[in-house]
């Protein structure tokens, strides 16, 4: 569903906001800020979510992901004047706020800083929080963009500070819009300057059944995430996506040679994001449980289908790929991650370690039950013994019948 709303912004005309709501937890925000003459002065469209780690009253730590923003307002957003630069101000949910500040030089404008505030006094979002109150995290950016250029960054950008991880993607922004018209000249972030080629997409024709046509085994790719100069997450896997939309079943084999990986690592959460020219993002979110094991907790996807439509699904209540911290998880045989009824991921030759990677190498692997051939030994032995017993019983019965028949004849 797409909703359009007009919000009054003091001193700055009206803001047109488009909230694109779908199956994903994070939806795009689009803002067209106008001046007193109703000319566009600032344009922005972006997606974002936040992960906050906080201490509880029993001295343990919890992690919460903030992505479903509910009602959004933009009070305090301004075009800027001689004394103050442009500013985007967003308020959402129970006590959350987000601000981006801009400034201008002779031939460039800058995204100077971003600040995010959250209220740990909200018991719904932060149950059992030890410290109650509003906490603000400020990040200095100083991203310089040529005047009259539209800044684009589809890739994932992550900011981490003070137990808060901020994720941004699909970003479009232009401050100091000239003559009320958003520029068609784009200034790309460094991550978007890497060219990619679309993976091959196989699609069946519409039919009463939604069962995809089986495809060849996908090629396994190796992906990694770095924290500074050190590798913090490793993943090797062949990925096959099974999508059902409008009674059309599609099977997509991910080509690792044309797929880019980004992400972030924290003490209790880790993110692996894959993207290409047709996959906006495919997120694998890992979490720590009981302080001694990790597992795949969340999968988010947004991608373009061959008919031009966008397919988006998210599930943050998964429980796959469970293994002890300090080890890796491995499953060479085909395994299915069921994200929803309309979206499943088949994995092949899987090995993943989202925490405690040492010297860029996998630790000892815990194998999935599908790979554990040792369980077959007692099954085979038991089946053999059962078969032998059956043969002995049959031979005994036949022998008894023959003996009995001979006795009667005598």
User: Among positive and negative, which fits the CA dihedral 345, 63, 160, 86?
Assistant: positive
Token pair of 62, please?
């919890």
Distance CA 47, CA 52 (A): 17
User: Among positive and negative, which fits the CA dihedral 251, 254, 259, 263?
Assistant: positive
**Complete DSSP assignment for 160-202:** EETTEEEEEEEEEEEES-GGG---S-EEE-GGGGS---PPPEE
User: Tens digit of pLDDT for each residue in 301-354?
Assistant: 988 887 777 888 889 899 999 999 999 999 999 999 999 999 999 999 999 999
Bridge partners for 101 per DSSP: 87, 113
Say which CATH architecture domain 29-192 belongs to: Beta Barrel (2.40)
Tally Cβ neighbours within 10 Å of residue 264: 24
User: Tens digit of pLDDT for each residue in 248-290?
Assistant: 888 999 999 989 999 999 889 999 999 888 888 999 999 999 9
Contact partners, residue 3, CB within 8 Å, separation at least 6: 18, 19, 21
Query: Residue 394: CA atoms inside 13 Å, Cβ hemisphere, count?
Result: 6
Local structure of 355: helix, strand or coil? coil
Closest CA to 169 of 59, 1, 45: 45
Token pair of 14, please?
């009206």
Domain coordinates of the chain in residue numbers?
29-192, 221-369
Closest CA to 182 of 223, 226, 148: 148
Local structure of 257: helix, strand or coil? helix
Using CA atoms, how far residue 214 sits from 21, 108, 346, in Å, is 32, 52, 11
Query: 168 and 46 in contact (C-beta within 8 Å)?
Result: yes
- The two domains 29-192 and 221-369 share their CATH topology (first three levels equal): yes
Q: CATH assignment of 221-369, given 3.20.20.80, 1.10.15.40, 2.40.160.110, 2.60.290.11?
A: 2.40.160.110
Token pair of 239, please?
């990925």
Unique residue bearing structure tokens 């032998």:
388
Angle at 160 between CA 256 and CA 233, to 5 degrees: 35
**Complete DSSP assignment for 316-351:** S---EEEEETTSEEEE-S-EEEEEETTEEEEEEEEE
The low-confidence residues of the chain, meaning pLDDT below 70, are 1-27, 68-69, 194-215, 370-380, 401-410
Q: How many helices (H) and strands (E) does the chain have?
A: 1, 28
Token pair of 71, please?
């009602």
Report the length, in residues, of the chain. 410
pLDDT score recorded for residue 214: 55
């Amino acid at each position: 569903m797409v909703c359009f709303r007009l919000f009054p912004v003091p001193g700055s005309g009206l803001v047109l906001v488009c909230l694109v709501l779908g199956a994903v937890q994070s939806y795009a925000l689009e803002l067209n800020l106008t001046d007193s003459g109703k000319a566009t002065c600032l344009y922005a469209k972006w997606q974002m979510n936040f992960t906050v780690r906080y201490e509880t009253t029993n001295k343990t730590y919890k992690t919460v992901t903030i992505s479903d923003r509910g009602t959004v307002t933009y009070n305090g957003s301004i075009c800027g004047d001689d004394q103050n630069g442009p500013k985007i101000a967003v308020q959402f949910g129970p006590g959350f706020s987000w601000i981006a500040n801009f400034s201008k030089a002779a031939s460039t404008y800058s995204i100077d800083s971003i600040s995010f505030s959250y209220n740990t006094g909200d018991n719904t979002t932060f149950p059992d929080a030890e410290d109650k109150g509003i906490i603000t995290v400020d990040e200095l950016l100083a991203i310089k963009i040529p005047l009259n250029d539209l800044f684009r960054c589809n890739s994932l950008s992550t900011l981490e500070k003070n137990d808060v991880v901020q994720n941004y993607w699909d970003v479009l922004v232009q401050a100091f819009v000239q003559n009320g018209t958003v520029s068609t000249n784009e200034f790309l972030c460094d991550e978007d300057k890497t060219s990619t080629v679309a993976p091959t997409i196989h699609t069946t024709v519409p039919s009463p059944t939604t069962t995809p046509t089986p495809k060849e085994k996908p090629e396994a790719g190796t992906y990694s995430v770095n924290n500074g100069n050190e590798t913090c997450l490793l993943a090797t896997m062949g990925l096959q996506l099974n999508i059902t939309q409008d009674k059309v079943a599609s099977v997509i084999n991910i080509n690792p040679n044309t797929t880019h990986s980004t992400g972030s690592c924290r003490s209790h959460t880790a993110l692996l994001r894959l993207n290409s020219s047709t996959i906006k993002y495919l997120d694998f979110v890992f979490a720590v449980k009981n302080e001694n094991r990790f597992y795949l907790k969340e999968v988010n996807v947004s991608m373009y289908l061959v008919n031009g439509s966008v397919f988006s699904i998210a599930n943050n209540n998964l429980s796959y790929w469970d293994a002890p911290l300090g080890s890796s998880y491995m499953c060479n045989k085909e395994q299915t991650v069921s994200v929803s009824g309309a979206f499943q991921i088949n994995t092949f030759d899987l090995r993943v370690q989202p925490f405690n990677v040492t010297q860029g190498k996998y630790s000892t692997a815990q194998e999935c039950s599908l790979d554990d051939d040792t369980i077959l030994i007692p099954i085979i032995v038991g089946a053999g013994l059962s078969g032998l017993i059956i043969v002995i019983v049959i031979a005994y019965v036949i022998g008894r019948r023959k003996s009995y028949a001979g006795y009667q004849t005598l």
